[in-house]
Amino acid sequence: MGAEVAPRPPPSAKRRSTTLRFLFELEKPDAGLLLPAGTAKLPPPSPEPEADSLIHKIASCNRVFTFAKTESEAERDAKRERLVEVLGAVRCSKQPLDHRVMVALVGMAGANLFRALPPSAYPAPAPDGVDEDAPAAALAPSWPHLQLVYDVLLAAVAAADARALRHHVDRAFLSSLLALFASEDPRERDRLKTLYHQLYSKLTAERAFMRRSMAAALLRFVYDAGPADRHCGAAELLEICGSIINGFAVPLKDEHRAFLLRVLLPLHRTRCAHTYHRQLAYCVLQFLHKDPGLADAVVTGILRRWPVTNCQKEVLLIEELEEILDVLQPNQFQNLAVPICSRIARCVSSCSSQVAERALYVWNNERFLELATSSPGVMEKILPAFVASVESNLETHWSKCVQQVTASVKSLLEQVAPDLYARCAHDLAARRSEAEVAAAVRDARWRKLETAAAK
């Protein structure tokens, strides 16, 4: 037998293997093999195949269906199923979406959402701004697809990082979204409101641009809207503005004050103000809570834009003035009592029973009654106008209901200021007597002129 070959010593632990088998095993993250000490573990395989599949599915949704009868119903259903799958993938994603996926999602959303809106389905409104025969809403036939596209975009914006989002949503995209508020489908406007507000909260660098864009859109309702326009989207935009105003820091910036004076107050003049007045009044009150010193400008702006023949709008403005009174301090009320109460007193004697009753019910407001009675010298300034309207209603108003409410208000005023009310009633009777004498003298002169002309 030959001499035994000595066994080869094992390789040193510090020496790294470079065999082909070792390199293959190194690429398997879950192979369960114990790697030599000091060997870095490779990252998991790239999710590019899944991303490519999702991108392909998103791209297949770029085709737009108008839901006409000539289109294939099976193809429409297939697109809807793909949109549901995309929505599920976006919502279930535990990591930020891939850059290529976001690009595909934003492009798909633009292809489906940014479109020419159809002509208005509403008839031209009545001169007083009220049209009881108008349809409740004009619904978009393609809403089954649009709803899913909005949901996908909302989920993508919610999941995206704010820094990454600004690389995909530019100003052109934001302007196109803002233009969609003119849609007559309230479901779409509601989705847009949520989406636009969410983008405002994330795109901090574009907030000033978004505020300017909303202000320009609201001003178009005031100055560029035609007689047949329905101011679609004004209520939703004002609702977004109300949330933004609520977050303004104190003291207010000049830009924010200008928005109140140049945008919100002119919105009171439109004939369709009743469609968005609740949101508008909320925005105005938020400004007054932030800066009570703006009350003088607000009240003056509302009174300047008081309607003449629109009874429904008068009722809304009386309600807004009453809400403003709840915010005023006694020293502010002393300066504004005469213009406010003069307007309300004229509304008390309105031929419209709704306007007259709403103006009379202002005296049921405890805050208004407290300000009127506690402020020195205020009742002497405001009561004569109310006494004239109250006495006129009791004598000549056609509505029995208005006369009953007027009698209740008269009893209240006589209890609050009996001597002042009696003096104002006496002065009113004297003025009426003088007016009757002057009218009799004038009639006598006209009869003399007619007699002389007949000779």
Output b/e per residue, 7-39; b: 16+ Cβ within 10 A. eeeeeeeeeeeeeeeeeeebeeeeeeeeeeeee
Asked if residue 263 and residue 370 are part of one domain, the reply reads: no
pLDDT (tens digit per residue) in 203-232 = 999 999 999 999 999 999 999 876 666 778
Token code pair at residue 398 = 């056609």
Asked if residue 175 and residue 107 are part of one domain, the reply reads: no
Q: How many Cβ atoms sit within 10 Å of the Cβ of residue 96?
A: 13
Task: Say whether 87 sits in a helix, a strand or coil.
Answer: helix
Last residue of a domain, which of 305, 327, 345?
Answer: 305
pLDDT-derived band at 94, boundaries 50, 70, 90: confident
Asked if residue 363 and residue 252 are part of one domain, the reply reads: no
Q: Let me know if residue 281 belongs to a domain.
A: yes
Last residue of a domain, which of 169, 185, 211?
Answer: 169
In the block, tokens 């109300």 appear at 242
Asked if residue 81 and residue 145 are part of one domain, the reply reads: yes
As a whole number of angstroms, the distance between CA 281 and CA 91 comes to: 37
pLDDT (tens digit per residue) in 43-91 = 444 456 678 899 999 999 999 998 888 888 999 999 999 999 999 999 9
In the block, tokens 């085709």 appear at 63
Output b/e per residue, 316-342; b: 16+ Cβ within 10 A. bbbbbbbbbbeebeeebbbebbeebbb
In the block, tokens 């989002």 appear at 165
Contact 232, 184 (CB under 8 A): yes
As a whole number of angstroms, the distance between CA 200 and CA 240 comes to: 9
| Residues ≥6 apart with Cβ < 8 Å to 62 | 107, 108, 111, 112
Q: Let me know if residue 54 belongs to a domain.
A: yes
Q: Which of 203, 281, 268, 271 is nearest to 238 (CA)?
A: 281
Q: Let me know if residue 311 belongs to a domain.
A: no
Mean pLDDT, rounded, of the chain? 88
Handedness of CA 54, 60, 64, 66 (dihedral sign): negative
Nearest-5° angle of CA 62, CA 67, CA 72?
80
pLDDT (tens digit per residue) in 226-240 = 666 677 899 999 999
Mean pLDDT of all residues in 24-45? 50
Least confident of 22-26, 280-284, 352-356, 383-387: 22-26
For residue 138, what pLDDT is reported? 78
Asked if residue 347 and residue 266 are part of one domain, the reply reads: no
Q: Let me know if residue 347 belongs to a domain.
A: yes
Q: Let me know if residue 121 belongs to a domain.
A: no
pLDDT-derived band at 96, boundaries 50, 70, 90: confident
Q: How many Cβ atoms sit within 10 Å of the Cβ of residue 368?
A: 21
As a whole number of angstroms, the distance between CA 416 and CA 133 comes to: 46
Q: Is the pLDDT of residue 41 over 60?
A: no
Nearest-5° angle of CA 133, CA 66, CA 144?
75
Rounded to two decimals, what is the model's pTM?
A: 0.84
Domain count along the chain: 3
pLDDT (tens digit per residue) in 109-143 = 999 999 998 887 765 555 455 554 444 577 889 99
As a whole number of angstroms, the distance between CA 365 and CA 369 comes to: 6
As a whole number of angstroms, the distance between CA 12 and CA 105 comes to: 54
Count Cβ atoms within 10 A of the Cβ of residue 138 and give its class: 0-12 exposed, 13-18 middle, 19 or more buried.
middle
Domain that holds residue 112: 49-116+139-169
Q: Let me know if residue 426 belongs to a domain.
A: yes
As a whole number of angstroms, the distance between CA 417 and CA 164 comes to: 67
Q: Let me know if residue 24 belongs to a domain.
A: no
As a whole number of angstroms, the distance between CA 450 and CA 264 comes to: 56
Asked if residue 83 and residue 150 are part of one domain, the reply reads: yes
Q: Let me know if residue 386 belongs to a domain.
A: yes
Asked if residue 178 and residue 245 are part of one domain, the reply reads: yes
Axis crossing angle, helix 330-348 with helix 378-396, rounded to the nearest 10: 10
Query: Which of the two residues, 1 and 443, has the higher pLDDT score?
Result: 443
Asked if residue 434 and residue 406 are part of one domain, the reply reads: yes
Asked if residue 286 and residue 177 are part of one domain, the reply reads: yes
Last residue of a domain, which of 256, 285, 305?
Answer: 305
Asked if residue 294 and residue 356 are part of one domain, the reply reads: no
For residue 449, what pLDDT is reported? 93
Asked if residue 175 and residue 164 are part of one domain, the reply reads: no
What residue type is 272 in one-letter code? C
Asked if residue 259 and residue 219 are part of one domain, the reply reads: yes
